[in-house]
Chain A
Amino acid sequence: GAVVSQHPSRVICKSGTSVKIECRSLDFQATTMFWYRQFPKQSLMLMATSNEGSKATYEQGVEKDKFLINHASLTLSTLTVTSAHPEDSSFYICSASPLAGGPGEQYFGPGTRLTVT
């Protein structure tokens, strides 16, 4: 149980295009999903917290107009990188907190590697 999927696992796009990444909780409902970014050999940095049916809460320094987050249902959140540039190339990981989970309980997706050329 507690499986989170991400799609796509890898994506290469041209500079200036937009890319959408999906995060799904497959066997549980999640009121809260989180989006992280990880540069090579570095830690996970929280980008935003996404709550179903409401606007995402972005961490300081994260451009909300560039990283659009939609949490349309209790099992799906999407991250859209708009007008992507090479510096947006990174590993993006989502996680989901179960509806009846404990504090801090999160299940992680396998990640999406974005390369912007």
Chain B
Amino acid sequence: AQKITQTQPGMFVQEKEAVTLDCTYDTSDPSYGLFWYKQPSSGEMIFLIYQGSYDQQNATEGRYSLNFQKARKSANLVISASQLGDSAMYFCAMREGWGAQKLVFGQGTRLTINP
């Protein structure tokens, strides 16, 4: 079974609009962490935001917020006021188990911001 599922292969959004990128996960471990990374065409992986399974509040980092719905096992990324520079691949990833270092990545969503 897929550990991380990103069901949107591509998203097209108008500049300045908000966008939600979907991510669902599958784990039976009570301790886990969820990450979002941005990968522009240059290839580097840029860390955006992190949510721990025991965190009570949704994580936020500037224009990025994570809509964490534990019962639904979803961790959607919300980008507010999108910019042209947000066009990139976005990957959701999970570490499973307390102290685990290994990450499992979803298939990614290609986000295109239109002017």
Instruction: Check if B99 sits within 8 Å of A44, measured CB to CB.
Output: no
- With contacts A43-B91, A103-B33, A104-B95 taken as known, whether A110 is within 8 angstroms of B102 at the C-beta atoms is no
Instruction: Check if A43 sits within 8 Å of B107, measured CB to CB.
Output: yes
Q: How many residues of A contact B (CB 8 A)?
A: 22
Chain A residues near B102: list those with CB within 8 A: 34, 46, 49, 104
Instruction: Give 6 new A-B contacts, CB below 8 A, not counting A44-B105, A46-B104.
Output: A43-B108, A44-B45, A45-B105, A103-B33, A103-B100, A104-B33
17 contacts between A and B (CB under 8 A): A32-B101, A34-B101, A43-B91, A43-B108, A45-B105, A46-B102, A46-B103, A97-B101, A103-B101, A104-B35, A104-B100, A104-B103, A106-B103, A107-B47, A108-B44, A108-B45, A109-B44
In the bound complex, how far is the Cα of B42 from the Cα of A110, in angstroms? 8
A interface: dominant SS: strand
Q: Size band of the B side of the interface?
A: 20 to 34
B44 partner, pick from A105, A106, A111, beta carbons under 8 A: A111
Chain B residues near A32: list those with CB within 8 A: 101
B24 to chain A, nearest CB (A): 15
Chain A residues near B98: list those with CB within 8 A: 103
Chain A residues near B47: list those with CB within 8 A: 107-108
Instruction: Check if A44 sits within 8 Å of B95, measured CB to CB.
Output: no
Is A42 an interface residue when CB atoms closer than 8 A count as contact? yes
Is B62 an interface residue when CB atoms closer than 8 A count as contact? no
* A interface with B by C-beta (< 8 Å): 32, 34, 42-46, 49, 91, 93, 95, 97, 103-111, 113
Report the nearest B residue to A109, measured CB to CB: B44
Chain B residues near A45: list those with CB within 8 A: 105
Chain B residues near A106: list those with CB within 8 A: 101, 103
